[in-house]
Amino acid sequence: MTSPLTEPTYCILAALTEPRHGYAVMQWVADATDQRVKLGPGTLYGALTALQERGLIVAVPDPSSGSDRRKVYSLTDRGRDLFLAETSRLESIARLGRSAIQSQGS
C-alpha cells in the first residue's frame, strides 16, 4: 500500500492530468483551489523531481517554446493509477465524514 499523498503532491498530479509546464502547474493549482494551495517554485520543482524519481511523471521538451530548457510534465501510467487510487481513497473518507455528520443530526 502506498502512503497517502500530501495535498500539494495530490494537487500537482491533478494538474498533470493534462501536460503542463511548471509555471502552468502553479497557476492551475492556485486557481483550482481558490488560492488556498499556493506552490512556491522550490516546493513545486522539488516535488516534480521527486515525482520523476518515483516514475509518476515524465518531463518532455516543450515543442511550442523552441527550447529544451522549458519542460512539459505529464503523468505516467503509474502516476495516473496512483492519482486515481488516491482520489478514490479521498472520496471514501469524505463519504465517511458526511455519513458521520448526518447520523449525528438524527
Question: For each of the chain's 106 residues, which pLDDT tens digit applies?
Answer: 567 899 999 999 999 999 999 999 999 999 999 999 999 999 999 999 999 999 999 988 776 766 666 789 999 999 999 999 999 999 999 999 999 999 987 6
Q: What CATH number corresponds to the domain at position 64? A: 1.10.10.10
Is 67 among the domain residues?
A: yes
Is 1 among the domain residues?
A: no
Is 22 among the domain residues?
A: yes
| pLDDT for 32 | 97
| pLDDT for 68 | 62
Overall domain count for the chain:
1
Residue 75, domain extent? 7-104
Angstrom CA distances, 98 to 6, 30, 31, 64, 101, stand at 22, 26, 26, 45, 5
d(C-alpha 87, C-alpha 10), whole Å: 9
| pLDDT for 61 | 73
Q: pTM of the entire structure?
A: 0.87
